[in-house]
């Protein structure tokens, strides 16, 4: 235990001392994070190579191990290969991060570098070798699949900690809580290597956090966030390789709960919104809390609390209880996550909720309305008179989704022709409400609870106008009116704009050209008679 304490103190003191030196060098040589886009919250340039101080503090602490002689260090010497299993690929990721801090790289280059580090980690012995499948049980993975899952896990967790680095002190604080969980798990399960790495990482983060907490005087940078994320992902694999299923699967995921949740949800949001999956935005969890007017300090402290809760829940899986208890914990956690994410007012979440309401509460009414539109369209396809057109239109309007409608039929500049059609049918009961205005055939309909005078000029109604056009000509239009404050429209607008509009346009064409056909036939008869 004294050895662990010495390692922690050395790492903390090293980080506490090195961070100001790195900050000074960054200011001197211009290695600063400048607020060049809207995603950054700081207004002034800030040094960005804080990861260098953490990395060096970790190396300094590990470097004193050869000078300590006890049972712990003897065990570590016997398993020194595992020490390099973590350190070598993590150092590679650190160098990629430093390069990115200096030169800037795209997402593809980052992923390639992290994947190479993941492959090295697998080759050196850090492997995901089994997978728990419900009902089936624990399955030993083929080497190819095990390698793929190892790389996927390390790359995913590495980027999760990098993406959460959006508020002063958030990524370093979340990493500290995750390191404490791995420290507790390794102590209980007896993994001295993981314990050493975790406690050294804790020391480095504690020494760095005073400089990184709001207002931050230095940032982790990609060198720090990527290095810490990869180190934690690698330690979680090594620490749970021979553990039980619950420990091997649940603990790492829950221990990294906040970064995993934020990154996973960001990917889902961008996929739903059909945006580039790896394109940055200002809609992470910490951004949504900032939108509420919270300060960066308050956001960081609130999310520290979330990390602490995730950490405590992860530790509950060390001593496995019954499957019922495990299931209850996971169920409660899932419900809490859903409620928490739902409270952040994401547009994607609101749309999913609305979609669920449409599917479960309104589905039957929507289906009934769509069937009604199909019936009205079928009746319209058989319309041969003005009365038939208006009757089929009324069948659509009786669905109750619209409060008022007007129809105008006829071709401009052909008033005599339109009046002739009107005169032929004006006495039909189906054509009630029909009149001639400006040489065009007009018809209107009211639902009954609202009159036309209340609609025009009120500004409380929206209008859908469907032009009645075919390949030959335009035959008029139909206007449908609806209240802005009314209930949701339980009708797919495409049914109106495609199916019903098409049949009504064809019906108008048939009716409005019928007189032409009759006159043409009469002319032929007269010619034949002569």
Q: What is the mean pLDDT of residues 293-305?
A: 91
Residue % of the chain over a pLDDT of 70: 89
Cβ proximity of 231 and 201 under 8 Å = yes
Query: Where does the pLDDT of residue 390 fall: very low under 50, low under 70, confident under 90, or very high at 90 and above?
Result: very high
* Residue 121 sits in the same domain as residue 260: yes
**What is the mean predicted confidence (pLDDT) over 308-318?**
84
Query: What are the φ/ψ torsions at residue 480 (nearest 5 degrees)?
Result: -120, 130
301 shares its domain with 434 = no
Domain membership of residue 346 (yes or no) is no
Q: Return the H-helix or E-strand segment holding 483.
A: strand 474-483
pLDDT reported for residue 40: 65
In the chain, how many H helices and how many E strands? 22, 9
pLDDT class for 327, splitting at 50, 70, 90?
Answer: low
pLDDT band at 465 (very low <50, low <70, confident <90, very high): very high
Whether residue 335 lies inside any domain: the answer is: no
- pLDDT, tens digit, for every residue of 488-502? 888 889 999 989 999
In the prediction, which pLDDT does 154 show?
A: 93
**Domain identity same for 389 and 286:** no
Average pLDDT over residues 25-39: 80
Q: Is the pLDDT of residue 36 over 80?
A: no
Residues 258 and 128 in one domain: yes
Out of 142-151, 274-283, 513-522, least confident range: 513-522
Range of the domain at 481: 384-520
Backbone angles phi, psi at 44, to 5 degrees: -115, 155
Look at residue 143 in the predicted model and tell me its pLDDT.
Answer: 87
8 Å CB contact between 85 and 126: yes
pLDDT band at 434 (very low <50, low <70, confident <90, very high): confident
423 and 297 in a common domain = no
Identify the domain boundary among 320, 350, 375: 320
Could you give the CA distance from residue 140 to residue 150 in angstroms, rounded to a whole number? 14
Q: Tokens 């060098």 map to which residue? A: 25
pLDDT (mean) for 298-320: 85
Give per-residue pLDDT as tens, 44-72: 888 989 999 999 999 999 999 888 888 77
Q: What is the pLDDT of residues 114-135, one digit of tens each?
A: 999 999 999 998 888 776 655 5
Q: What does the pLDDT average to over 405-430?
A: 82
Q: Please indicate, yes or no, if residue 122 is contained in any of the structural domains.
A: yes
Let me know if residue 19 belongs to a domain: yes
Q: Is residue 170 part of a domain?
A: yes
Query: 131 is written with which tokens?
Result: 């997978």
Residues 126 and 229 in one domain: yes
Specify the DSSP element, H or E, that contains 303. helix 296-315
Residue 1: the pLDDT is 65
Which pLDDT band, with edges at 50, 70 and 90, does 351 fall under?
confident
Q: Measuring CA to CA, which residue among 509, 475, 503 is closest to residue 395?
A: 503
The answer on 195 and 98 residing in a single domain is yes
Is 360 within a domain? no
For residue 363, the model assigns a pLDDT of 80
Dihedrals phi, psi of 478, to nearest 5 degrees: -130, 135
Would you say residue 523 has pLDDT above 60? Answer: no
Domain boundary among 320, 341, 367: 320
**Does residue 456 sit in helix, strand or coil?**
coil
8, 96: one domain? yes
206-228 pLDDT tens trace:
999 999 998 889 999 899 999 99
CA distances from 477 to 123, 158, 321, 505 (A): 71, 59, 70, 8
By three-state DSSP, how is residue 105 classified? Answer: coil
pLDDT in tens, 258-296: 999 888 888 888 887 778 777 777 788 888 888 888 888
**What's the pLDDT score for residue 277?**
73
Query: How many CA atoms within 13 Å lie on the side-chain side of 8?
Result: 14
Look up the CATH number of the domain holding residue 516: 3.30.450
Model pLDDT, residue 522: 41
Domain co-membership, 148 together with 255? yes
Maximum alpha-carbon separation in the chain: 129
> Do residues 182 and 194 make contact, with C-beta atoms less than 8 angstroms apart?
yes
Number of domains in the chain: 2
Amino acid 521: pLDDT: 46
Residues, the chain, total? Answer: 530
Domain boundary among 320, 338, 356: 320
Domain shared by 205 and 286, yes or no = yes
* Tens digits of residue pLDDT in 165-213: 888 899 999 999 999 999 988 888 888 888 999 999 999 999 999 999 9
pLDDT at res. 61: 94
- Rounded to the nearest integer, the mean pLDDT of the chain is 84
Q: Examine residue 205 and state whether it is found in any structural domain, yes or no.
A: yes
Same domain, 122 and 270: yes
The alpha carbon of residue 392 and the mean position of all alpha carbons in its chain are separated, in whole angstroms, by 44
Residue 357 lies in a domain: no
Question: Which one is predicted more confidently, 76 or 379?
Answer: 379
């Amino acid at each position: 235990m004294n050895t662990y304490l010495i390692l922690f103190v050395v790492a903390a003191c090293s980080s506490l001392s090195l961070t100001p030196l790195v900050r000074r060098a960054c200011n001197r040589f211009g290695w600063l994070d400048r607020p060049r886009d809207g995603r950054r919250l700081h207004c002034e340039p800030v040094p960005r190579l804080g990861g260098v101080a953490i990395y060096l503090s970790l190396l300094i602490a590990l470097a004193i191990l050869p000078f300590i002689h006890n049972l712990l260090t003897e065990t570590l010497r016997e398993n020194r290969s595992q020490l390099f299993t973590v350190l070598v690929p993590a150092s590679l990721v650190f160098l990629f991060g430093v390069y990115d801090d200096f030169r800037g790289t795209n997402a593809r280059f980052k992923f390639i570098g992290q994947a190479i580090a993941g492959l090295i980690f697998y080759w050196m012995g850090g492997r995901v070798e089994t997978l728990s499948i419900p009902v089936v049980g624990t399955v030993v993975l083929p080497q190819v699949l095990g390698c793929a899952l190892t790389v996927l896990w390390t790359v995913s967790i590495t980027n999760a900690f990098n993406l959460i680095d959006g508020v002063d002190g958030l990524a370093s604080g979340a990493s500290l809580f995750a390191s404490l969980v791995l420290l507790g798990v390794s102590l209980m399960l007896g993994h001295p290597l993981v314990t050493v790495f975790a406690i050294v990482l804790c020391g480095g983060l504690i020494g760095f956090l005073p400089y990184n907490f709001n207002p931050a005087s230095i940032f982790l940078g990609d060198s720090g966030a990527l290095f810490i994320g990869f180190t934690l992902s690698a330690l979680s694999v090594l620490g749970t390789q021979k553990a039980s299923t619950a420990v091997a699967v649940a603990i790492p995921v829950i221990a990294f709960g906040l970064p995993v949740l934020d990154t996973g949800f960001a990917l889902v949001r961008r996929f739903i919104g059909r945006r580039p999956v790896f394109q940055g935005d200002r809609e992470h969890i910490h951004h949504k809390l900032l939108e509420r007017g919270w300060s960066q300090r308050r956001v960081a402290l609130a999310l520290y609390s979330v990390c602490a809760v995730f950490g405590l829940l992860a530790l509950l899986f060390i001593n496995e209880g019954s499957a019922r208890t495990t299931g209850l914990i996971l169920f409660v956690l899932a419900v809490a996550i859903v409620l928490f994410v739902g409270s952040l007012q994401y547009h994607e979440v609101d749309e999913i909720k609305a979609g669920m309401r449409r599917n479960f509460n309104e589905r039957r009414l929507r289906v009934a309305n769509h069937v009604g539109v199909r019936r009205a369209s079928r009746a319209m396809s058989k319309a041969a008179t003005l009365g038939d057109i208006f009757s089929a239109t009324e069948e659509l309007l009786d669905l109750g989704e619209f409060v008022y409608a007007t129809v105008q039929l006829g071709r401009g500049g052909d008033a005599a022709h339109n009046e002739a059609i009107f005169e032929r049918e004006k006495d039909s009961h189906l054509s009630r409400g029909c009149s001639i205005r400006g040489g065009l055939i007009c018809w209107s309909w009211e639902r009954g609870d609202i009159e036309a005078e209340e609609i025009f000029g009120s500004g409380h109604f929206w209008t859908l106008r469907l032009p009645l056009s075919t390949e030959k000509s335009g035959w008029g239009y139909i206007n449908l009116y609806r209240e802005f404050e009314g209930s949701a429209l339980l009708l797919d607008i495409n049914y109106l704009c495609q199916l019903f509009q098409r049949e009504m346009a064809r019906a108008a064409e048939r009716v409005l050209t019928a007189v032409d056909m009759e006159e043409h036939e009469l002319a032929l008869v007269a010619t034949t008679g002569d």
